[in-house]
Amino acid sequence: MIDIKTIRDQAGLVKQSLRKRNENDDVVDVILEFDKQRRKIIEAVNALRGQRNAASKKVAQLKASGENEEAEKVIAQAKQLGQQIATEEKKLSEYEEKIMELLLRIPNICHESVPFGNSEDDNVEVRKWGKPRVFDFEPQAHWDLGPKLKLMDFERAAKLSGSRFTVMYSCFARLERALINFMLDVHTKQHGYTEVWVPHLVKRETMTTTGQLPKFEEEAYRIESDDIFLIPTAEVPLVALRSNEILQEADLPLRYVAYSPCYRREAGSYGKDVRGMIRQHQFDKVELVWLTTPEKSFEDLERLVSDAETVLKLLELPYRVVELCTADLGFGAAKTYDLEVWLPSYNNYKEISSCSNDTDFQARRGNIRYRRRSDGKLVFAHTLNGSGVAIGRALVAVVENYQRSDGRIDVPKVLQPYMNCEVIP
């Protein structure tokens, strides 16, 4: 959520940011008008309440000195005031609700460094690492190779759960688990993250903190009986972990890493990535989250990206780093880098990690603050999140990039201790 003060003081900037994202900016003027009304009512309510408080005080005094008749008179007046206050308060809460509803649906303000663009085609490649392997045979896509090896089973997954699910057996199932452990170890041991184990079902409030709600409710799986949601990423519980808390500046940055399954309805992506396990309703991910200060957050984002890159480097998977343009930026993000891994089946790079600085957008929604040492003030923290990295897509990348002409798959060196083998199967 952006600060209503920013809308008041820098309406132009907010409108510009919305337009850069290809969004309508009319909402800004609507909010400004509601805000004007709201403040007018607040003035009125405050004055009325002041009068009533004074009257109540008088009642206490009069009763103490035994002037009961006089007290009754004042009580009658105060009762009148109470009714007026009630009407004004009702109007006030109506405006406040309207403003909050709109505010919760406005995306974060793009950082000035974000390249302008109209679609994902305008994203900017920042750097490349590794060279896509040149095969001396026709490499197979994982959706062909996996079932052929009887290690991936899309048919039975569909029987159990419908489309966009996968069943895996033996070496592939173990590879999934190996990747999870490998990545958690890299981030905890090499990068110093704190490992967190999180709930996969969260409250509406928690989903609102990170920005999944209210705008994208149709994207989430919801358990109706309890109005509780399956997390679409561990970012949700990790960011909200410290909601409504006051942090110590000395403790910042807090850096969390968590493995979790991710559940996404993928509403509206009907034609996309229909083959294989690239786009699933359920997938595993190791997620990185930082809670940091406004002064450091953009610098920290570079660190976060580099931490995610380390995983791909260690796996020796060719990838590139792309900076998202304004039109492709996510709802809560002020700036985002995507990591894209080379996939032979796509003959292209495919997103495997997305690293964003959400600035104070989520912190304001979740009320995550810290006490600033320099002046003792409470300020909203900045939150960063990034995949470190997506497990399912990493598995696909390993399978496709490490395949041999005989259909077997070499196990990347760093995974061998986790797999207890050098080749699959």
Q: Which residues are catalytic?
A: 264, 279, 351, 354, 393
Distance CA 89, CA 98 (A): 14
Burial (CB count within 10 angstroms: exposed 0-12, middle 13-18, buried 19+), residue 57 = exposed
CB of 90 to RNA, least distance (A): 9
The nearer residue to RNA, 53 or 194, going by C-beta atoms, is 53
CB of 225 to RNA, least distance (A): 10
CB of 293 to RNA, least distance (A): 16
CB 196 within 8 Å of CB 204: no
The nearer residue to RNA, 93 or 119, going by C-beta atoms, is 93
The nearer residue to RNA, 78 or 102, going by C-beta atoms, is 78
Residue 396: CB partners within 8 Å, gap ≥ 6?
142, 276, 277, 278, 343, 345
Residues of this chain that bind RNA (CB under 7 A): 5, 39, 42-43, 45-47, 49-50, 52-57, 59-60, 63-64, 75, 78-79, 81-82, 93, 246, 376-378
125: left (phi > 0), else alpha (psi -120 to 50), else beta?
beta
CB of 4 to RNA, least distance (A): 7
Phi, psi of 27, rounded to the nearest 5 degrees: -55, -30
First to last CA, the chain: 49
Residue 49: CB partners within 8 Å, gap ≥ 6?
85
CB of 368 to RNA, least distance (A): 13
The nearer residue to RNA, 128 or 204, going by C-beta atoms, is 204
Residue 383: CB atoms within 10 Å: 30
The nearer residue to RNA, 71 or 110, going by C-beta atoms, is 71
CA–CA distances in Å: residue 108 to residues 28, 58, 115, 359: 13, 49, 15, 8
CB of 67 to RNA, least distance (A): 12
Checking DSSP bridges between strand 124-129 and strand 167-168, what pairing results, if any? unpaired
C-alpha Rg value of the chain to the nearest Å: 27
The nearer residue to RNA, 4 or 423, going by C-beta atoms, is 4
268: left (phi > 0), else alpha (psi -120 to 50), else beta?
left
